[in-house]
Chain A
Amino acid sequence: MQSVSKPQKPPVIVSPNSFLAWIGKIFLLVIGLFAVYILAINLFDKPYLFAQNVINGIQLGFVYALIALGYTMVYGIVKLINFAHGDVFMVSAFVSFFAVERFALHQWPQRLFPGFNPSLSTVIGTVTTILLSMVICVLLAITIERVAYKPLREAPRIAALITAIGVSFFLEYFGLLNFVFSARYIPYQRPFEVVTWYIKDGIHLVESGVTPPDGAITISNILIIIIFATILVQIFLQYLVRRTKIGIAMRATSFDKPTARLMGIQVDKVISFTFAIGASFAALGGVLYAIAYPSIRTLMGVYPGLKAFVAAVLGGIGSIPGAFVGALIMGQAEAMTSGYISTPMRDAIAFSILILVLLIKPTGIFGEPEKEKA
């Protein structure tokens, strides 16, 4: 039977100023206003608590920034979500744990030369521990890249992604075995003592066993070290990427691989180098994270790794300042949610923010608009 086509009504074109077009924006605005309202109430209610939450968020955000750099650089260059990055972070924490706990590496100058200045010994020892973790993680990352990712560079992207998941699972489940790291939470022995100050009518030292008075904001030396280290890493990375030859090679490779190869850049080496740099920052982050939150376990890298990746996406993946800004946002979101809504909801809120930001600006805050699909 021949169906008779009815004359169709011409479709109505929604003008960008009509209510229908605005309703989505109004919806977002309502959500935004609600968040601002909650924050504002708490800010005026207890300003010192708010400031404390901001500081907690900064501490978390700066650690995320260190991990996010690896994600954003690797994604920028090979378009691969390197799921194993979070596990490299975990390995670094464990390496430093064993170095400190078993071999007392954080005190080596004093052990070797009795009578060495103890505080200087701690500084040198801690730096050595961090460097050792970084070196081991760099070796691990390069091994992973060579064994698992390099043979798949010509394969479809999903193959590389599945491989990344496989590597990540291997590291996690291998670490979960009882004779490796086991599934327990392990108390982490810090290489140096935590010194805490509180700010109320000037800066005072918190004596051990004494709780700071009400209405004080506490900061610790770890916070300062984390901020310092992250900013140093940012400056170093900016210098590396903008000024040095290998940095230019990295940018060229991420822009256009075949052309970069034609220009005489050894693409494989550049990619390995990117993995190594990312892993070294993650390792630094891992040690600092373990010092700041001194309880480590095999699956500790999963959520920070994921959040760091989200931070990288949030800031615009492939962009180094973007990763930093995204990480700060993630840290603040997490701290504020823990502080004012509910601690268990912090993961949910963090990912909801990601979804919202992606809806408004799909390429992230600093991301460049996506190129036309070929």
Chain B
Amino acid sequence: MDITAMIFSLVKIVAVIAYLYGLLWVLGVKLKKVEIAGKLVDPSLGVNIFGGVIAFGVIQLALTKFNGFSLLNDFDSGLLYQACTMTMVALGLNLIYGFNGQFSLGQWGFYGIGAYTAADITYRWVNGDSRGLVVVGVGVIIGGLVILLIGKFLSNLRRMPVLSSFTLYLIGSILAGVVAVYAGKLAAPLLDPFLGDSLNKGVLAQGLPMQVVFFLAVVFAGIFAAEVSFLFGLPVLSLGSDYFGIATLGFSIVVYTLMVNSDTILPFPEMKGGRGMIGIPKLTTWFWAFLFLVLVIVIMRNIIRSSTGRSILSVREDETAARSMGIDVARTKLMSFVIGSFFAGIGGGVYAHFIGFLSPGAFDFLVGFNPLIIIVFGGLGSMTGTITASFGWIFFLEGMLREILGKISPEAPSWRYVLYPLTLLLLMLVRPQGLLGSVEWGFLKSKIIPLRKSETREGVNNHE
């Protein structure tokens, strides 16, 4: 038994968690205003940004190889990226379930949609086909505009059946998709000559343009996932909690089935169906992973702190009371669902470009319970808890246990999947509200005292 390896892995986990808490602290530092040249200047923002850059640099330095040696090896950097994507997905789910109370099992489906969309864009781009980017880009932008327009039109109608509005949105989105496909056909001859092919890359398929394309691909994938979630959530969110859960579970199974048949039923031969999509350019660097992670954290924290966030929370606490306060409950639910799926899509895009290989098995709904378990571990309605739990989960389960059990015998690593349900059971029996409850730290700390979850209300008839 290798004690040093174990201690080393433990130290790594502690260091990563400490790093995260440091990051959250430095992002939230508040300083007194100082007088510079007769003007009162608030240095906090500068300090926060500077701290973020330092935090980015520390890991970047640890990842850089000096004389072939780096503090964090490839295995660790893989864990790091994996943890970043898992955090984004779990934060999105926490917004949907922890903060808004909608029991969703479909997060993994949106994650898969994001991953495949982003991967398809860059894969085609690298192989000299610009249609992926153009079609998805034009599609999501026109689709978003169409959805906004139809929403505007529907907003001054009353008693419109949900199914009818859904049909209108669906028709609008399909039209947007058709337009996008034609736009792709028009743009392809203009862009394709600059892309080269997989062997000799063109001007646009390397260097800075490629990074821009990657950024666009991830963002478009996120928006695409968000729009799909909008179309799906509009009719389904009106169902009750458990029914909504089952419907979303059905959604992720449908997505999985479509992935398995992406080359036969869907017209995407490059996704290769169940055999898995290979040859995705590995574009995710620590810069992008860090950037997207911080973006997601900042966006979500600002949403939670805004009046929108408070209405999201109030819907979780009591729908009837929220409605009587003038909150549009259906709209709030839909909004949190869409934003959560957007985060999942972004996470998927980042994941696809670090792993370089997508197979439908990674998006099976059994794996899809992981984000749910993570947010429950960390505490529903606690962003800090979610971040901690995601990083801890990946580094403990995929990192430490795999390394240590792998040394005992080649078969032992599969025991870690036996251990974690047991841990889960134990946690549920001892501390059902999760490790951190709804405690927040540093940057994420709310100015307002957070509302306590009183879930007993949900099941008045069931738990007396």
Contact = CB atoms under 8 A, between A and B. Distances in A.
B425 A166 contact: yes
Interface string A269-312: 00000000000000000000000000000010010001001100
Interface string A22-51: 111111100000000000000000000000
Given A157-B459, A345-B257, A358 B369 contact: no
A166 to B, nearest CB: 4
A79 B245 CA distance: 13
Interface size class of B (residues with CB under 8 A): 35 or more
B203 interface: no
A261 to B, nearest CB: 9
A354 B432 contact: no
Given A21-B164, A23-B164, A27-B163, A173 B414 contact: yes
Contact of B239 (A14, A159, A309, A358): A358
B461 A362 contact: no
Interface in B120-174: 156-168, 170
A370 B240 CA distance: 9
A186 interface: no
Contacts of A374: 457, 460-461
A313 B458 CA distance: 20
Contacts of A371: 461
Contacts of B167: 23-24, 26-27
A352 to B, nearest CB: 6
Given A170-B422, A256-B461, A158 B103 contact: yes
B462 A79 contact: yes
A148 interface: yes
B463 A302 contact: no
A362 B239 contact: yes
A166 B432 CA distance: 13
Question: Chain A interface residue count: which class?
Answer: 35 or more
A348 B369 contact: no
Contacts of A162: 372-373, 376, 424, 428
Nearest to B424: A166
Interface in B202-255: 235-236, 238-240, 242-243, 245-247, 249-251, 253-254
Interface stretch (A114-122, A125-133, A174-182, A232-240): A174-182
A134 B453 CA distance: 41
B158 A13 contact: yes
A156 B250 contact: no
Interface SS majority for chain B:
helix
A374 B463 CA distance: 13
Contacts of A373: 319-320
Scoring B415, B418, B460 by chain A CB atoms within 10 A of each residue's CB, the highest score goes to B418
Contacts of A16: 159
Given A347-B257, A348-B254, A355-B247, A156 B455 contact: yes
Given A24-B162, A79-B459, A373-B319, A309 B156 contact: no
A114 B453 CA distance: 68
Contacts of A178: 411, 414
Nearest to A78: B462
Interface in A322-367: 342, 344-345, 347-348, 351-352, 354-355, 358-359, 362
Q: What are the nearest 7 A-B pairs in CB distance?
A: A24-B163, A351-B250, A156-B455, A24-B164, A173-B417, A159-B432, A170-B421
Given A158-B376, A310-B250, 7 more contacts: A23-B164, A27-B170, A79-B462, A173-B414, A177-B418, A359-B163, A370-B240
28 contacts: A14-B158, A20-B157, A20-B164, A23-B167, A155-B463, A156-B432, A156-B455, A156-B463, A157-B458, A158-B103, A159-B428, A161-B103, A162-B428, A166-B422, A173-B414, A174-B418, A178-B411, A256-B461, A257-B464, A299-B366, A309-B246, A345-B257, A351-B253, A354-B247, A355-B247, A358-B243, A359-B236, A370-B240
Interface of A: 9, 11-14, 16, 20-28, 78-79, 81, 148, 151-159, 161-163, 165-167, 169-170, 172-174, 176-178, 256-258, 299, 302, 306, 309-310, 313, 342, 344-345, 347-348, 351-352, 354-355, 358-359, 362, 370-371, 373-374
